[in-house]
Amino acid sequence: MRPEARKYLYDIQGAVSLLTDFTADRTFADYERDAMLRAAVERQFEVIGEATAQLAKVDQGLVSRIGDWRRIVAFRNILIHGYADVDDRLVWDVVEAKLPTLRRDVDALLKEAGIAQP
């Protein structure tokens, strides 16, 4: 695995871990009420999307093994460019429904490359 690809996978993994920590024991109502939580969650999704976009530039075969990678990048673009119209329910649904799959995909790629997990 190229060093750049490894770095992007680590960045994704780190952002997923932070998102998991930030949202543990939280509800959608908590998310709606807490501007700092929303900002933190959106920022980590931006990191995930940007790292995924960069990974696609350096290793198309590797990024294709991340489920919905194109949608991850598109979600990042919505958060960055459509910030005024971000749907909090959509963001929370991604936290609940998509984050565990992304974690499994990235952890599996790092493990396959023989890289120790944090």
Q: Is residue 118 part of a domain?
A: no
* Cα distance between residue 38 and residue 82, in whole Å: 15
3-class SS string, 15-31: HHHHHHHHHCCCCHHHH
Nearest C-alpha neighbor of 109 from the set 39, 28, 36, 11: 11
- Residue 117 resides in a domain: no
Predicted TM-score of the model (pTM)? 0.92
pLDDT recorded at residue 72: 96
Reported as a single tens digit per residue, the pLDDT across 78-89 is: 999 987 788 999
Is residue 9, in this structure, part of any structural domain at all? yes
CA distance 32 to 34: 6
Q: Which of 78, 76, 81, 66 is nearest to 13 (CA)?
A: 66
Q: Please report whether residue 56 resides in a domain.
A: yes
Give the confidence band of 68 by pLDDT, cuts at 50, 70, 90.
very high
Range of the structural domain that residue 98 is part of: 3-112
In a domain, 23, yes or no: yes
Assigned domain for 38 exists = yes
Over residues 9-27, the pLDDT tens digits come to 999 999 999 999 999 999 9
**6 confidence band (pLDDT: 50, 70, 90):** very high
- Using the predicted structure, report yes or no on whether residue 116 has a pLDDT greater than 70: no
* Number of folded domains that form the chain: 1
